[in-house]
């Protein structure tokens, strides 16, 4: 029992054998298990609240086992009920009576552990079709819905190997990383289809309060065909937050989103625009003047935003903008020096409070300090970058009058 081993390693003490009945006997008979307490005192772990910790550990393993047993009984009863029915005795194909070839065991992975059931194995001689008659009407597969939901949740967050370890630790469930990967791949298209067709996605988004924000980004992912760009889009809604002054921008607390619809795909920008457009038609985000768009400096993103929406409140992601300022301060004043830090802090405040108009003056003053071609080139590139996004640097306005994303 690997999960019990893990708990033991953490300083919990579990009975090596014996189920709840043994625990109950010890518990009721002696108020608490004295042998266990001796063990606990002899360990380098300082275990307090011993009786409760013990009961908790038992509940986590033997309690889970009780639920598993209960599920096993229910599953077997459901199978037996179907097998009693006449329909399952006839071949679905030719309507002749099938020949029973005895019972076969089947392991089904549930959220409470693996349950073992047995079901009839039949054969239709004319059709030469061996079948488990109950599999189709009951939809029996290797994994239940509960197991799948846990597995997909775990697998979506980290590597499949790590996810498998998490499932074992948190739920005592055993699954290999490749099987976990397969489950995730099976569920993903179902989720995509549900999102596309389900009316509640649209209803929830429409009735959620707040302003619409549109975020687009791309990142590199490693695929069977090499590294590719995965494009990500999010339509979200959020109520406006409290106004802050630019020097307080990173301490402000933005309200939580009230609704979010995210989508991603490895595809060319034209197809991604179609995807964005499809969601726009479904979600009806309202007047474009009320939409805030956030992205990094990639031109393809702003091209799509403009083509698809026309005029929206565009904003260059503040962290990207600041990263560029930080980089140039290192080029001119060296990495980690007091001078570079000082220059960066002042430049940051100017960008956040005065946008392009203020920060460009600072960059132009820096020209005088450029001695090498490299410095001049870095400065020119940064000036072009800010110039290109000049209308997207209205941070102060966002902080003071319209405290939303950014």
Size of interface with Zn ion, in residues (CB under 5 A): 5
Q: What DSSP state is assigned to residue 217?
A: E
Strand order of the sheet with strand 129-131? Answer: 99-110, 113-124, 129-131
Residue 202 binds Zn ion, judged by CB under 5 A: no
Residue 90 binds Zn ion, judged by CB under 5 A: no
Choice between 2 and 125, CB closer to Zn ion: 125
Choice between 124 and 164, CB closer to Zn ion: 124
Residue 124 binds Zn ion, judged by CB under 5 A: yes
Residue 127 binds Zn ion, judged by CB under 5 A: yes
Residue 133 binds Zn ion, judged by CB under 5 A: no
CB of 129 to Zn ion, least distance (A): 6
CB of 86 to Zn ion, least distance (A): 15
Stated as kind and residue range, the H or E segment containing 353 is helix 338-366
- Give backbone dihedrals phi and psi of 365, rounded to 5 degrees, phi first: -65, -35
**Rounded CA separation 110/173 (Å):** 9
CB of 106 to Zn ion, least distance (A): 22
Choice between 86 and 251, CB closer to Zn ion: 86
**Rounded CA separation 109/289 (Å):** 51
CB of 97 to Zn ion, least distance (A): 9
Choice between 120 and 124, CB closer to Zn ion: 124
Looking at the DSSP bridge assignments, the partners of residue 212 are: 237
> Which of 91, 150, 304, 316 touches Zn ion (CB under 5 A)?
91
Cα angle for residues 12, 58, 35 (degrees, 5° grid): 60
Q: Which residue from 24, 44, 42, 20 is spatially nearest to 32, judged by alpha carbons?
A: 24
271: left (phi over 0), alpha (psi -120 to 50) or beta: alpha
> Which of 2, 39, 67, 94 touches Zn ion (CB under 5 A)?
94
Residue 93 binds Zn ion, judged by CB under 5 A: yes
**Rounded CA separation 150/102 (Å):** 34
Choice between 98 and 106, CB closer to Zn ion: 98
CB of 131 to Zn ion, least distance (A): 9
Residues that bind Zn ion (CB under 5 A): 91, 93-94, 124, 127
């Amino acid at each position: 029992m690997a999960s019990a081993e893990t708990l033991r390693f953490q300083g919990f003490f579990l009975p090596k054998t014996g189920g709840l009945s043994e625990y109950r006997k010890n518990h009721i008979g002696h108020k608490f298990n004295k042998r266990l307490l001796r063990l606990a005192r002899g360990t380098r772990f300082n275990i307090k609240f011993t009786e409760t910790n013990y009961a908790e550990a038992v509940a986590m393993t033997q309690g889970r086992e009780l639920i598993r047993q209960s599920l096993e009984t229910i599953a077997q009863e459901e199978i037996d009920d179907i097998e009693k029915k006449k329909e399952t005795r006839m071949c679905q194909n030719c309507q002749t009576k099938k020949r029973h070839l005895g019972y076969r065991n089947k392991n089904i992975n549930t959220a409470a552990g693996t349950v073992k059931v047995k079901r009839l194995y039949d054969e239709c001689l004319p059709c030469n079709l061996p079948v488990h008659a109950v599999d189709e009407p009951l939809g029996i597969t290797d994994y239940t819905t509960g197991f799948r939901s846990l597995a997909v949740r775990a697998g979506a967050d980290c590597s499949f190997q790590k996810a498998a370890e998490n499932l074992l630790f948190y739920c005592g469930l055993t699954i290999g990383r490749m099987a976990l990967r397969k489950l995730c791949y099976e569920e993903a298209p179902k989720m995509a289809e549900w999102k596309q067709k389900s009316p509640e996605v649209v209803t929830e988004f429409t009735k959620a309060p707040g302003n619409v924000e549109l975020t687009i980004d791309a990142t590199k992912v490693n695929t069977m065909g090499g590294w590719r760009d995965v494009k990500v889009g999010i339509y979200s809604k959020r109520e406006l937050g409290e106004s802050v002054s630019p020097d307080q921008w990173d301490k402000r607390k933005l309200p939580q989103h009230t609704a979010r619809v995210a989508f991603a795909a490895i595809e060319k920008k034209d197809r991604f625009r179609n995807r964005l457009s499809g969601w726009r038609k479904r979600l009806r985000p309202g007047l474009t003047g009320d939409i805030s768009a956030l992205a990094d400096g990639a031109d393809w993103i702003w091209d799509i935003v403009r083509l698809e929406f026309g005029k929206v409140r565009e904003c260059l992601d503040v962290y990207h903008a600041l990263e560029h300022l930080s980089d140039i301060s290192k080029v001119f004043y060296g990495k980690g020096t007091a001078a570079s830090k000082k220059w960066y802090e002042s430049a940051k405040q100017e960008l956040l409070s005065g946008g392009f108009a203020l920060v460009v003056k600072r960059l132009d003053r820096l020209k005088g300090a450029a001695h090498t071609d490299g410095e001049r080139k870095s400065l020119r590139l940064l000036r072009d970058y800010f110039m290109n996004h000049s209308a997207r640097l209205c941070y102060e306005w966002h902080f003071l009058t319209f405290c939303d994303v950014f």
